[in-house]
Amino acid sequence: MKLDVIVIDDSSINLVLTSHLIHKFEGCITSEFNNPKQALEWCFEHVPDLVIVDFMMPEMDGIEFIRRFRALPERADIPVLMVTANDQIEIRHRALEAGANDFLNKPIDKIEFAARVRNMLSLRRSQRKLLDQAAWLSEEVKLATNEILARERETIIRLSKAADSRDPETGAHILRMSHFCKLIASHIGVSEENQQILLDAAPMHDVGKVGIPDNILLKPGRLDPTEFDIMKQHSFLGYEILNGSESVILKAAAEIALSHHEKFDGSGYPFGLVGDKIPLFARICAVADVFDALTSERPYKKAWPDDQAIAYLREGRGKHFDPMCVDVFLENWDEVMEIRNRFKD
C-alpha cells in the first residue's frame, strides 16, 4: 500500500530532515511544503495518509492548519502529528482540540519519531483497508440490487404478456404506451427515479383483463351496458392482483390498474374521481393509453389518423384527460413519433 505523507514546516532544513526519516518507511512518499496555505490548497485535491505539521509558522500556525484541514470533507479521520516543544503544554491542548492525534518533540528524536510515525501509519493502513472493504461491499450490494431489479422487470413483462395473450392489445401497444407515459412524466417534473417506476409499472395497466370472460373481452362489436359493466371490473381485478406488494413498481402498478379509466371531470370509473384526486401516474397513463389505442389497428377497428387522434385528445382536455398531460404530450410530438417508430406492431 502506497502512503502519502504531507510535511509542513517553514524551515527547509526541518523539511529535508523529516522527509528523510519518513522515506525509511516502506511505501511512503512525501509532499513537502514550507507554506501552510499552499499545503492546504494541496489538500483540497489530495487526501494524504498522514499529516506532519510544525506549530510555529508565519501566516498560519499549525493549529489553524489542522482546524482548516479537519473541516475539509473526508479529512476528519486522517492521522495528524504536530511538531512542538515538549514544554508547550497549553499549545498541545489547543492542538488536540483542533484535531491533532499526537505530537513530535522538537528537536526531533529519531527513535521517538519512528515509533509515533509507525503507529500513525498502521492506524491509517487499517482505515484504508476498512474503507476498501466498505466500497467493495457497497459495489456488491449495488450489483445484487440491480440483479433483483432486472428479475422484477422480467417478471412484470411476463405477467403482462400473460394478460396480453387473451387481449387484442399487442405487446407493441404496451411498450409504446409505457414509453409515452415516461415521456409525459419527464416533461412535468417527475423525478428520473419515478419516471423509471412508471415505465416499469404502466405495462400492467390492463392485467385485470385476465379475469374478464372471453365472450366479452374478445367481442368484435360494441359491448352492451351489462357487458360493459363486467368489462369495467378489469381495473379493480388488476388492482387486486397487484395490490399489497412491498415492491415500489407493483405499488405503482396497482394504483395505475385501479385508476387508469378515471376521467379528469369525474365521469370515469371505478370511483368517478375528479382532477388531482386521480393519482398522477393514472392521469398520465390515460393519455398515453387512449392515444395509442386510437392510432393502433384492432380487430374491431381501423387505426385512426394522427390528426383525428390529436383532435380527440384536445377535445378531451380537461374532460377525460388532465390538461397538463395532454399539453406536454402534444408539445413533444417529435418524441412521440420517435417512440412510435421504435416500437412498431
Residues that bind Fe ion (CB under 5 A): 206, 289
* Secondary structure (3-state) at 240: helix
The residue among 251, 250, 270, 248 whose CA lies nearest residue 260 is: 270
Segment (H or E) for 323: helix 323-331
Report d(CA 237, CA 251) in Å as an integer: 14
CB of 234 to Fe ion, least distance (A): 6
188 residue type, one letter: I
* Closer by beta carbon to Fe ion, 93 or else 166: 166
Question: What span, in angstroms and rounded, lies between the C-alpha atoms of 49 and 27?
Answer: 11
Could you tell me the smallest distance in angstroms from the CB atom of residue 189 to Fe ion? Answer: 25
**Residues paired with residue 3 on neighbouring β-strands, in sequence order:** 28
Residue with smaller CB distance to Fe ion, 75 or 232: 232
Q: Where are the beta strands (DSSP E) in the chain?
A: 3-8, 28-33, 50-54, 80-85, 102-106
CB of 284 to Fe ion, least distance (A): 13
Name the residue nearer to Fe ion (CB basis): 91 or 258.
258
* Cβ distance to Fe ion smaller for residue 206 or 327: 206
CB of 293 to Fe ion, least distance (A): 6
Closer residue to Fe ion, CB minimum distance, 61 or 206: 206
Given a contact cutoff of 8 angstroms between Cβ atoms, the answer to whether 91 and 57 are in contact is no
Q: Which residues, in sequence order, are CB contacts of 247 under 8 Å at separation 6+?
A: 152
CB neighbourhood size of 109 (10 A): 12
Nearest to Fe ion of 104, 231 (CB atom)? 231
Whole-number Å distance between alpha carbons of 207 and 130: 48
Q: Closest distance between Fe ion and the C-beta of residue 4, in Å? A: 60
> What is the closest distance, in whole angstroms, from the C-beta atom of residue 289 to Fe ion in the complex?
4
